[in-house]
Homo-oligomer: A and B are copies of this chain.
Amino acid sequence: MDLSFGPEYETFRAELRAFLEAHRERAPRGGIVAAGGSKDAATLAWQKLLIEHGYAARTIPKQYGGYGAEPDILKRVILDEEFARAGVSAGVGGQGPDMLVPTLLEHGSEEQKQRWIGPTIRGEVVWCQGYSEPNAGSDLANVQTRASEDGADFVVNGQKIWTTTAHLADMMFGLIRTEPNEGKHGGLSYLLIPMTTPGIEVRPLGTMTGRAEFNEVFFTDVRVPQANVVGRRGEGWKIANTTLKHERNMLASAGGLEASFARLVELMKSETRDGRRAIDDPVLRDRLLRLEARVAAAKYHSMRMLTASLKKEFPGVAALVTKLSGCEISHQIAALAIDAMGELGVLYDGSKHLRAFGMWQFQYMFSLGLIIGGGTAQIQKNIIAERGLGMPREPKAA
């Protein structure tokens, strides 16, 4: 356990602060949330600057356009802290840099790496993820979107759902059934699909939050070169599972909880009821303290998991539980914020008196969507019990 910030790190932090101070005017607006689809000139220029200084694409090898540094959690922590403190965009994020790039580094051909990693981390190519389907929600291996061979191409037909940023994306990485005779898991391939291909239609999918964070994507005779398969044909299920593990570095998610908790504290200091601040209500305050402990646990747990992953150690069941708790804590933070505001907490949609643009209700609903998404909590628990605790699978139905 060594969390000391030695001189090297203090220097790193000081340089970063100076950099942010000097250049913050060049950063795109919109705070620290990494943009997932914005290709305006300011964003691309800012990302370029960040990569040059090693503040983005930090550990991506130089030959693919990254900064080529060794992984270093403490520097990762410092980066998160300082961008958050400065309230400055941390550059381009999203499913391309966070999910596709690690997958290509592990499974892609040299040609695929050369072609896609650079443009992706620079933000020039935006990706969306095509996993879920109407009948492949928690049962992801039930993917029905299929590709038949036609010369050097695949011809894809079917439908994806819950596809974030599909309306902005240049490319999709998705699971497609290419081997109809190979059973549920063995029949899938991990395919890279240009979103401009004729036959692709993107429709926004409204959710209970009232915003369209997701899309449906329809494929009708969409031609994709067979060369766009990552890894081998029929290995898509295995590769997608690796990608899921890469899903958004865990520190960032814990950092999000910390930031959200800090906003909750501010809220509870400013909202009043009969002139008394919410934070002075002992019952609400007790809930606040419970959450603070949970946020701290999530934060240090993510540091522990990241350490293990950098050391290539297998942390066992401990690695499987992060997802289950993160969204739940976010939901509970929002729930407390709403209760602290009382009737003000149910205002929405640009109402007069609305706090923080309705962020809290949005978070309350959206975090529930996340609890459901990416494999429902029920499936997560199966995985924890079976893979993590070695409990036997349910017997197959007769």
Contacts and interface: CB of A to CB of B under 8 A. Distances in A.
A110 to B, nearest CB: 46
Nearest to A281: B282
User: A-side binding surface: helix, strand, loop or mixed?
Assistant: loop
- Number of copies of this chain that the complex holds: 2
- Which residue of A281, A283, A396 has the most chain B CB atoms within 10 A of its CB atom? A283
Interface string A277-297: 000011100100000000000
Contacts of A397: 394-398
Nearest to A397: B395
Contacts of A394: 397
A268 to B, nearest CB: 15
Contacts of A281: 282
Contacts of A282: 281-283
Interface string A340-362: 00000000000000000000000
Nearest to A396: B398
Contacts of A283: 282-283, 286
A286 B282 CA distance: 10
A283 B290 CA distance: 12
A396 B395 CA distance: 8
Interface string A374-398: 0000000000000000000011111
Nearest to A283: B286
A282 B394 CA distance: 46
Contacts of A395: 397-398
A282 B284 CA distance: 10
A394 B396 CA distance: 11
Contacts of A286: 283
A277 to B, nearest CB: 15
A289 B71 CA distance: 52
A50 B396 CA distance: 58
Interface string A25-59: 00000000000000000000000000000000000
A48 to B, nearest CB: 53
Among A281, A286, A394, chain B packs the most CB atoms within 10 A around the CB of A286
Q: Which of A281, A282, A396 is packed against the most chain B CB atoms within 10 Å?
A: A282
Nearest 3 Cβ contacts at the A-B interface: A395-B397, A282-B282, A396-B398
13 contacts: A281-B282, A282-B282, A282-B283, A283-B283, A283-B286, A394-B397, A395-B397, A395-B398, A396-B397, A396-B398, A397-B397, A397-B398, A398-B398
